[in-house]
Every structure is written in structure tokens, then in C-alpha cells.
């Protein structure tokens, strides 16, 4: 089942949450699928390098919890 189907009527609510998030100074947006993780992080008093380290740690945790195997972080897409 796709995420869109699983969310059903909550897709619109998700769009509203995203719109609100895009207007914040301190925000983390992480998008995962079975092959990649893409991160957008802003604020929190952290440097761009710290943003990337934060995203990598969160990705490792999610992959470990989800049983998707070890993350191939060399091919990871990250944007801080």
C-alpha cells in the first residue's frame, strides 16, 4: 500500500503541516523511502556540518528500527 493510500484523508492535513513547517526558522524535514533519505534542516543554532551529522544519526536510527538494512551513507543525499 502506498503512503498516500495509507494516509487517506490526512493527505491534506500533511500539506498544511508542511506549509507551517516551511515558515519556521527551526525545522527538520526528513524524507525516507527504501533507497534514500533526503534532509532539509534549518536553525537550532547549529552549523551546516552539525545539521548533516544530525540527519545522518536520525537516518541510522530509522533504518535500524525499520529493519531496512545498514544505511549506505556514502550514497546518501543530504542537504543542510
pLDDT score at 66 = 76
* pTM exceeds cut of 0.85: no
- The span from the CA of 24 to the CA of 39, in Å, is 16
pLDDT score at 24 = 95
Of 41, 80, 78, 42, the C-alpha closest to 60 is: 78
pLDDT score at 69 = 55
Tell me the β-bridge partners of 29.
40
Domain locations in the chain as residue ranges? 25-80
pLDDT score at 65 = 86
Q: What is the pLDDT of residues 22-79, one digit of tens each?
A: 999 999 998 888 788 888 999 999 999 999 999 999 888 888 887 655 545 444 444 4
pLDDT score at 62 = 86
For residues 11-19, give the mean pLDDT.
92
Question: Hey, how many other C-beta atoms are within 10 angstroms of the C-beta on 2?
Answer: 6
Contact 73, 56 (CB under 8 A): yes
Amino acid at each position: 500500500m502506498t503512503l498516500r493510500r495509507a494516509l487517506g484523508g490526512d493527505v491534506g492535513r500533511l500539506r498544511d503541516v508542511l506549509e507551517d513547517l516551511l515558515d519556521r526558522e527551526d525545522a527538520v524535514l526528513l524524507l525516507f523511502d527504501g533507497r534514500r533519505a533526503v534532509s532539509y534542516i534549518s536553525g537550532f543554532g547549529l552549523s551546516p556540518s552539525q545539521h548533516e551529522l544530525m540527519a545522518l544519526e536520525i537516518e541510522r536510527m530509522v533504518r535500524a528500527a525499520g529493519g531496512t538494512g545498514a544505511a549506505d551513507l556514502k550514497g546518501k543525499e543530504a542537504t543542510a
